[in-house]
Amino acid sequence: MGDNLAAKPQPQEDLDGDGRWMSIHERFLAEVKEKEPEVVFIGDSHIALLEHTDVYKEFFAPLHGLCLGVRGDTTSNVLWRIQNGELEVIKPKVLVLLIGTNNRGQTPEQILSGIRAIVECVLKKQPQAALFVAKIPPRGEKPNPKRELLAKVNAGLANALADVPNCRILDIDPGFVGADGMIDHRDMYDFLHLTPQGYRKAFEIVHIAVSSVLNPDSA
């Protein structure tokens, strides 16, 4: 992995000195000991906020879903959390990973290396589970360099994970960027985080994919 920080496990820096990130991690460690989830979501704020949406309550709560998402997390933060107990004890049938939008100062190749490191770690700990790696949603009201970088990451996912067994790429973007290159605030209220409407559009796609694994006869 060399000096690629995207693939180096490390806790999120405690910039405010209140220890919140580690407290969340410890809460997750307690939750995995209490629950028997069939579907586990792992990632950043996209996953952290998912748990509080109607679409989650409708589609995933009945499946005994578990969200292990932390605002601001990068690939290195998620990798650290997984290496430090968050995927122990439980044996889900499906895992959904969504990460990468917070990686800064890194190339698409470095971010892909970080995602690859997480995928390898996840499947080592949960070899029985089907893993969906979600493409990173676009961001910014107008075309911008960050959006272009994430598009390159998304384009490279299939090749970066081509030889990984039981792993599928999932495009959860229903068309958030319009023909004019703009993102509608009704889908992303701050042009990054999804609104309830945006979550429904993106995670109906996830629900179909998850259902194809849990109930293959009805898919």
Q: Encode pLDDT of 122-148 as tens digits.
A: 999 999 999 999 999 999 999 999 999
Residue 206, pLDDT > 80, answer yes
Distance of CA 47 to the CA centre of its chain: 6
Whole-model pTM: value is 0.96
| Distance, CA of 187 to CA of 98 (rounded, Å) | 18
What is the predicted pLDDT for the residue at 4? 84
Q: Which of 39, 92, 49, 94 is nearest to 69 (CA)?
A: 49
Residue 216, pLDDT > 90, answer no
| Distance, CA of 9 to CA of 167 (rounded, Å) | 21
Active site residue 25: no
Q: Which strand (E) or helix (H) includes residue 27?
A: helix 20-34
Cα dihedral sign, 163-164-167-171: negative
Active site residue 190: yes
What is the residue-wise DSSP string for 102-135? Answer: T--S--HHHHHHHHHHHHHHHHHH-TTSEEEEEP
Active site residue 218: no
Residue for token pair 């961001």: 139
Catalytic residue among 25, 44, 45, 46: 45
Where does the pLDDT of residue 217 fall: very low under 50, low under 70, confident under 90, or very high at 90 and above? confident
**Amino acid identity of 31?**
E
Domains, the chain, ordered by start: 5-213 (3.40.50.1110)
Residue for token pair 């290396």: 113
Catalytic residue among 14, 54, 171, 190: 190
